[in-house]
Amino acid sequence: MTKFLSRLDRWGPRTQGGPVVEHVQILRRVSRVSVALIRPLVVRTVAVSDPDDLLARLPDAAPYAWIRHGEGLVGWGEAARAAVPAGPGRFDWARGWLSSLFAGALIEDEVGVPGSGPVAFGSFTFDGHAPGTVLVVPRVVLARRDGRAWLTTIGDSAFDLFSPPREPGRIRYADGSLTAAQWEHRVARAVRRIKDGMLDKVVLARDLTAVAERDIDPRVLLERLAERYPECYTFSVDGLVGATPELLVRHTGQAVESLVLAGTTARGGGPADDAARGAALYASEKDRHEHAYAVASVREALAPLCSALNVPDEPELLVLPNVQHLASRVTGRLSDGASVLDVVAAMHPTAAVGGTPTGAAIGVIRELEGMDRAGYAGPVGWIDSRGDGEWGIALRCAYVSGRRARLFAGCGIMAESDPAAELAEAQAKLRVMRYALEG
């Protein structure tokens, strides 16, 4: 802990006159803060010198993280937590709980940018009727963005004991809810539903179980994911760890942005093969239709909230280390000052992770997947007291608990889908978290 705090002194809170000694002394006191004990929350945000590597600052405690290209937020400890009740009103409940909590907080924020002041990290289950949605306000948040860095503490907070990340050792894998052959059979059944005219598209997910020699340290997974997939949003919320390429919504003031991904192919064995695969994906009628459904669902969700909306006419190729996606970046301006959770509520589930039409697709998912997705393909991200925030769709992820991890991947099923090809796509997507576990 002494070594960790000495690093804190080097990049610690600054004013025009130098380090804020009193603040560092407060952080040295070991305490536990709960919302039940501190009413209201006492929040302080101060500018700090650039910590360079946010993930390297995480102590040996359950981490919270949202990182892309080395920027974003990390946090630890719990100043407040809410288990959001399942049901159709869960987003309203979450917004009300946060509004009440933040409205009563005593906030001293010398930075005043999105992500400063009190921040809640959250993970919503894919199925609104499933339990497991959680919001957590960490005791400590460290952030960096656009050449600025800041530290937020709540109450008489302290840094937890720091220790180096621990390797999980050898990993053994086993089938999850369905074997590969069973999952292919479910894909074939979904294709028949589509050809019968019940729906246009459905996304089917599969899971994989991993067991390690030792307890899995989420910090190891976060560091590997952030290094290998810098274009993605590396996240950690309440045991759900991953690196998603799909930005559901970024909310800054009245500006909103969403990155829509649908249509996927694996990377090639070399530059020529890679280029050929990308060209084939871009020309694929099946994948272009799948992408069009996803873009349309985002347009329909955002249009009632926005005074202006820009939707690209054609997708682009997003090339990641393991796969290539068709991608469209949608931008808009909110007309009524809605918070990021209002936008998330309007958009989830998109056709990219559910299907088209939504109601029919959810019914087929419940019938055929044979598992509870929990937070997989649900919204994951953060929100501050202004209503700003960033939320992604929890893809390329795993639930981590002790020595065990549950990995997820999903594929968009269309009338032209081949079960064997969809299984290969799912396996390519699972390689992201397998790499994170194995290195």
Cβ–Cβ under 8 Å, residues 145 and 71 = yes
Cα distance between residue 393 and residue 438, in whole Å: 24
**Residue 246 bears catalytic tag:** yes
Residue 438 DSSP SS3: helix
Selecting among 184, 223, 246, 422, the annotated active-site residue is: 246
**Cis bond upstream, residue 357 (ω within 30):** yes
Q: What does the buried/exposed string (b/e) look like for 114-130 if buried means 16 or more CB atoms within 10 Å of the residue's CB?
A: bbbbbbbbbbbbbbbee
Cα distance between residue 100 and residue 50, in whole Å: 32
Residue type at 392 in one-letter notation: G
Cα distance between residue 154 and residue 158, in whole Å: 9
Cα distance between residue 252 and residue 98, in whole Å: 18
**Residue 201 bears catalytic tag:** yes
β-pair partners for 142: 74, 151
Q: Which residues contact 284 (CB under 8 A, 6 or more apart)?
A: 263
Selecting among 78, 184, 201, 369, the annotated active-site residue is: 201
Cα distance between residue 296 and residue 298, in whole Å: 5
Q: What residues are labeled active site?
A: 201, 246
